[in-house]
Structure 1
Amino acid sequence: MERITALEQITSQLKDELVVCNIGFPSRELYHVKDSPKHFYMMGSMGMASSIGLGLALSQKRKVIVFDGDGSLLMNLGSLVTIYNQSPQNLVLVVLDNECYGSTGNQCTYSSTTDLKKVAEGVGFKNTILYTESEDKIDFSPVLDMEGPVFVHVKIQAGNAKVPVIPMEPEEIKERFIREVQGK
């Protein structure tokens, strides 16, 4: 499954959840398949989507979905330990794993030899889910019903969809998202 397909399938099942999306092509693809004021598209800070999502989940009651990449998660593995120890019941961390740094030139990551789901379980995550690359359909409803924190490992094909850049300035993305979070 391609990342854009996984994003499309998962977001089609979301309702009122807040979304934090990893930098680069994942954010561009999410914007292309389903733009929403509920989505925070990261424009920088590689490796920080999980930490931003954690802070957001701790600050309010709405469910928070974080779309992260394997490369970004590997850059900030400490976030898994912090997420587990803070234990926000409203956080779902979705790692879209294409075994490469897709936004910086497709350099290989170590997720081909490191099982990220087992890493999350080793940290202590009770609810972990794996969707394999060969699956045609992602049923995300069981994930949305789980008490967090939830770790979802989605194996995807390498490559980026040919989608344009997000036609908003970072400040506009931030301000629009803040208004949504504050209910204004």
Structure 2
Amino acid sequence: MTVQRIEALRIVAEQTAELPVVVTCAASSRELAAVADRPNHLYLLDAMGLAGSVATGVALGIADTEVPKVVAIEGDGSLLMNPNVLATGGFLRPAKLVLVLLDNGVYGATANLPTYGARIDLGELAVAAGWTVRRAADPVELAARLAESLTLDGPVLLHVRIAVGNATGVPKLLENPVIIGRRFQDWLAERVGR
């Protein structure tokens, strides 16, 4: 059974309540906020392609702190807008970085036009760049592979095949991005003692 995005986000939220989580824009941010809107979530509204880059910077910035991991949540379309994050992560090797790739093979915000992910294995791109890759295709695998990924030295990419489609009845995320950023910054500063 292929997992729906919102179900995948529930599983991620269950395992990351005390970790910094940087999430890509659009439905991923809205659905995560609907599942568990927390100060440890940095929603990158209107910043497609940058969750992995921002999370890489956070992971490098907290390298010498007690914060165990930084989690990025990306979609396949978003990662394809900035595949450089794979090369950067492979080169810089942030040990605390876990990127959860929710791959549905389409751009959900544009009438489900297909991404290149249907023919290009994004997990293999990550392997070629030096990442450790784990894969999941159903809720049970996702929970197990995420738990494992959070114990590995990074960079780690968890490639999750999800079903096409957005959850219904999820409200828009209309919070001011400055407020979201400040809330996340304050939460993280408390944990790193800065």
Q: TM-score range by the shorter chain?
A: over 0.9
Amino acid corresponding to residue 55 of structure 1 in structure 2? G
Deviation of residue 124 (structure 1)? 1.5
Give CA-to-partner distance per residue, 1:106-155, whole Å, 9 cap, x none.
21101011111111111121x210102xx232222111111111011000
Counterpart Cα distance in 2 of 1:87 and 1:116 = 18
Counterpart Cα distance in 2 of 1:131 and 1:45 = 26
Amino acid corresponding to residue 144 of structure 1 in structure 2? L
Deviation of residue 105 (structure 1)? 2.8
Q: Are positions 1:165 and 2:167 aligned together?
A: no
* Residue 136 of structure 2, aligned match among 120, 131, 146: 131
Amino acid corresponding to residue 107 of structure 1 in structure 2? L
Q: Are positions 1:176 and 2:179 aligned together?
A: no
Kindly report which structure 2 residues correspond to 1:90-109, keeping only aligned pairs within 5 A, or say none. Answer: 90-109=96-115
Deviation of residue 167 (structure 1)? 4.2
* Residue 12 of structure 1, aligned match among 4, 11, 14: 14
- Please state which structure has a larger fraction of its residues in helix: 2
Contact in 1 for aligned 2:106/2:115 (Cα 8 Å): yes
TM-score, with length taken from structure 1: 0.94
Aligned to 2:46: 44
Counterpart Cα distance in 2 of 1:18 and 1:101 = 26
Counterpart Cα distance in 2 of 1:81 and 1:141 = 24
Deviation of residue 46 (structure 1)? 1.0
Aligned to 1:31: 33
Amino acid corresponding to residue 122 of structure 2 in structure 1? L
Unpaired runs of 5+ residues, structure 1, are: none
Give CA-to-partner distance per residue, 1:28-70, whole Å, 9 cap, x none.
0000111110000111121111111111111114211000010
SS of structure 1 residue aligned to 2:38: coil
Amino acid corresponding to residue 66 of structure 1 in structure 2? A
Counterpart Cα distance in 2 of 1:136 and 1:152 = 13
Amino acid corresponding to residue 169 of structure 1 in structure 2? N
Q: Following superposition, which runs of at least 4 residues in structure 1 exceed 6 angstroms of deviation?
A: none
Contact in 1 for aligned 2:75/2:101 (Cα 8 Å): yes
Unpaired runs of 5+ residues, structure 2, are: none
Counterpart Cα distance in 2 of 1:117 and 1:160 = 23
Q: What fraction of aligned residue pairs are identical, expressed as a percent?
A: 38
After TM superposition, the structure 1 stretch with the greater mean CA deviation from structure 2, 34-43 or 163-172, is 163-172
TM-score, with length taken from structure 2: 0.89
Counterpart Cα distance in 2 of 1:36 and 1:26 = 14
- CA RMSD between the two structures: 1.3
Amino acid corresponding to residue 155 of structure 2 in structure 1? P
